Chains A and B, each alone.
Chain A
């Protein structure tokens, strides 16, 4: 037994020794700082995010690995070489499993893996837990300082398992690309999974250089996968807000990385590594500047959007309050107008009927106009009140079963005289496989039918109006079509006809009066009773078809 494997002097913090070359520190401390910086940044910004925690753990475990490896370089006492060389094995295996877990989370859009899958993947660790302390792991200490110790079959098993895990990660990468529908999530998955694959491939390639006895020089570069991983993750954070990290901190990360790489150039005893570092500085400088510019732009845009969103929110709240006040005003005003109007209508009617004695013939026409106008005004007020009730949610529906066919026929009969006055023919037709019973508010249904047929009469100058009642037993629905040969509607009018205060653009051509609320009220009432109204027209002058659709009471 020898006291010191390499007969080196004591080390500081187990890792700083004058016997260790600058390249070793560069290849170790640089990835370690980057990995810890990235891990903490991601964790601090969203400590509850599952993938944030996994990424932090991955970077933390990686840092422990790097620290242990540095100990092996700087403190080669026999027991520390044997212990840290052996202890690094479960750490390395765990790091690969964490990387696989991270990719799994992104492939499944942050949905956690079932516990059985976690147990199944942990089986990779079982031989290592069982034999890590035995000579199957590290066979024994070598007197050669370059080799340190001889690796056993357990380490070869770990290298093989790492390749299998890389295979699983590649599988989850492809699976995620296929299954994720959301574009941003798919991009996030591609960035993080690719970064993880690059990181692990570097690591495994470095391990294999040892297995193929290429010496410790190439193995040093296996940790370079971490800066590449950190760069891709940072880019993903800036571009896609992955891990929900603020872009501002990413800028700090980029600057820190660049300063760190640049500082390595100042080491005087690493002349042989200087070209590699110089290329890294230039490449990272270009990428970093690009990232910083993109980050600043996006941060400004985000701030502007947030400001606009806040203003919009305030404006929306104000508009809602105003809309509520307006509805209340309309409701109160309509109620106030209705009472005196009822009196006007009543007295005009009594005067016309001669209840107050004989009225001179000269006064009969003005009285008739008063009666007619007050009727129109009452209808308009009723429309305003209905809109007010609908918008405040106070419209009451007394639902009951009734025969829609009979009611439609009655309304058609009532309006036939109005149609005939205009020289129109109003037909009623039916094509039914069912009695036509529906469960709805009979008064409001009649109001809807009346409104639709009345509209057709108003907007048709010549020709016919056909009211067709039909049913569809497969859909369990009944339809009332009102088809006319009237002024028709353009595509533009069709899109707006069910909005408040909207009337057909060519309405004035037939001199029809109206508030533009009738169809809005009818459509809202039909929807509230489980039905709906649709409109169709081939264009101006080509007639219209309005269809009321209601579910059948089966």
Chain B
């Protein structure tokens, strides 16, 4: 492997790792620390998950 290929390979792994860390940090802060999510009631979650998900795509999101 040439020097430039090695360098490109390193850039790739650094970019990938950075994106992973950013994504995990955002998820942790948003959901675990800030608890920024909705808790459905029993009535709301009555439909089967797949039906609900299809419905939720248009109506809830």
Given contacts A83-B27, A132-B26, A152-B53, contact A147 B32 (CB under 8 A): no
Cα distance A150–B22 in the bound complex, in angstroms: 24
Give B30 Cβ to nearest chain A Cβ, in Å. Answer: 4
Closest partner residue, chain B, to A144 (CB atom): B45
Give the complex CA separation of A246 and B20 in angstroms. Answer: 35
Which positions 3-49 of chain B face chain A at CB distance < 8 Å?
5, 8-9, 11-12, 16, 19-20, 22-24, 26-33, 35, 37-42, 45, 48-49
A125 to B24, CA, bound (A): 13
**CB neighbours of B20 from chain A (8 A):** 90, 94, 129
A129 & B32 in contact (Cβ 8 Å cutoff): no
Whether the pair B23, A128 counts as a contact (CB closer than 8 A) is yes
Contact A129:B45 (CB < 8 A) given known A78-B35, A82-B32, A139-B61: no
The verdict on A319 contacting chain B, using a C-beta distance below 8 Å, is: no
Min Cβ gap A78→B in Å is 6
Kindly state whether residue A133 has any CB partner on chain B within 8 Å. Answer: yes
Residue of A nearest to B32 (CB): A83
Say yes or no: B8 contacts A133, CB within 8 Å.
no
Which residues of A have CB within 8 Å of B8?
115
Asked whether B39 lies within 8 Å of A2 as measured between CB atoms, the reply is: yes
Separation of A140 and B52 alpha carbons in the complex (Å): 12
Q: Which of A90, A135, A143, A153 contacts B39 (CB 8 A)?
A: A143
B5 touches A150 (CB 8 A): no
Contacts of A86 in B (CB 8 A): 27, 31
Once the chains bind, are A112 and B53 in contact (CB under 8 Å)?
Answer: no
Q: Which of B22, B33, B53, B57 contacts A129 (CB 8 A)?
A: B22
Within 8 A of B (CB), among A302-349: none
Q: Are A78 and B39 in contact (CB under 8 A)?
A: yes
Interface size class of B (residues with CB under 8 A): 35 or more
CA distance in complex: A133, B34 (Å):
12
Instruction: Among A114, A125, A136, A143, point to the contact of B19 (Cβ < 8 A).
Output: A125
The answer to whether B49 and A213 touch across the interface, beta carbons within 8 angstroms, is yes
Name the CB-closest residue of A to B28: A83
Q: Are A112 and B1 in contact (CB under 8 A)?
A: yes
In chain A between 126 and 151, which residues have their CB closer than 8 angstroms to a CB of chain B?
128-129, 132-136, 138-144, 147, 150-151
Cα-based distance from A129 to B12 in the complex (angstroms): 15
User: Could you tell me if B12 and A115 are in contact, using CB atoms closer than 8 angstroms?
Assistant: yes
Of B27, B40, B49, the residue contacting A143 (CB under 8 A) is: B40
Interface residues of A in 263-312 (CB under 8 A from B): none
A133 touches B12 (CB 8 A): no
Residue of A90, A128, A142, A212 with highest tally of chain B CB at under 10 A: A142
Given contacts A112-B1, A119-B12, A129-B22, contact A135 B35 (CB under 8 A): no
Q: A133-B31, A147-B45 are in contact. Are A141 and B39 (CB under 8 A)?
A: yes
Cross-chain contact A135 with B61 (CB below 8 angstroms): yes
Q: Chain B residues with Cβ under 8 A from A152's Cβ?
A: 53, 56, 61
Whether the Cβ atoms of B24 and A139 lie closer than 8 Å is: no
Which single member of B1, B5, B38 contacts A135 (CB below 8 Å)?
B38
Set of chain A residues within 8 Å of B9, measured between Cβ atoms: 112, 115, 118
CB atoms of B45 and A143 under 8 A apart: yes
A211 proximal to B (CB < 8 A): yes
Q: How far in angstroms is the closest Cβ of chain A from B25? A: 9
Residue A527 interfacial (CB < 8 Å): no
Instruction: Answer whether A82 and B31 are a contact pair too, CB < 8 Å, given A129-B22, A143-B40.
Output: yes
Are A150 and B56 in touch, CB under 8 angstroms?
A: yes
Chain A residues, Cβ within 8 Å of B33? 79
Contact B35 A79 (CB under 8 A): yes
Report the bound CA distance from A147 to B50 in whole Å: 11
For the complex, give the distance between the alpha carbons of A147 and B40 in Å: 12
C-alpha spacing A532/B8, complex, angstroms:
50
Given A147-B49, A150-B53, the answer on whether A141 and B22 have CB atoms closer than 8 Å is no
- Docked-complex contact B24 and A87, CB < 8 angstroms: yes
Question: Which residue of the partner chain, among A94, A112, A129, A140, contacts B37 with CB atoms under 8 Å?
Answer: A140
Closest to A83 in B: B32
Asked whether, in the complex, the Cβ of A142 is within 8 Å of the Cβ of B23, the reply is: no
Check A150–B49 contact: CB distance below 8 A: yes
Report if A80 contacts B (CB, 8 A): yes
Residue of B nearest to A136 (CB): B61
Q: Judge whether B16 and A122 touch: CB under 8 Å.
A: yes
Say yes or no: is A1 at the interface (Cβ < 8 Å to chain B): yes
Report whether B40 and A140 are in contact in the complex, using a CB–CB cutoff of 8 Å: yes
**A114 to B, closest residue via Cβ:** B5
Cβ distance A15 to chain B, nearest Cβ, rounded Å: 17
Of B23, B38, B40, B49, which is within 8 A of A133 by CB?
A: B23
Q: Enumerate chain B residues within 8 angstroms of A78, measured Cβ to Cβ.
A: 35, 37, 39
Name 13 interchain pairs, CB-CB below 8 A, sorted by A.
A78-B35, A83-B27, A90-B23, A129-B23, A132-B24, A132-B27, A133-B23, A133-B27, A133-B30, A142-B45, A144-B45, A153-B53, A153-B57
Interface residues of B (CB under 8 A from A): 1, 5, 8-9, 11-12, 16, 19-20, 22-24, 26-33, 35, 37-42, 45, 48-50, 52-53, 56-57, 60-61
A-side residues, CB < 8 A to B, are 1-2, 78-80, 82-83, 86-87, 90, 94, 112, 114-115, 118-119, 122, 125, 128-129, 132-136, 138-144, 147, 150-153, 156, 211-213
Sample of 11 more A-B contacts, CB < 8 Å, known A2-B39, A115-B5, A144-B45: A79-B35, A82-B31, A82-B37, A115-B9, A115-B12, A128-B23, A139-B60, A141-B38, A141-B40, A143-B42, A153-B57
Q: Which 10 A-B pairs have the closest CB atoms?
A: A140-B38, A83-B32, A133-B26, A115-B8, A133-B27, A82-B31, A141-B39, A133-B30, A83-B31, A129-B23
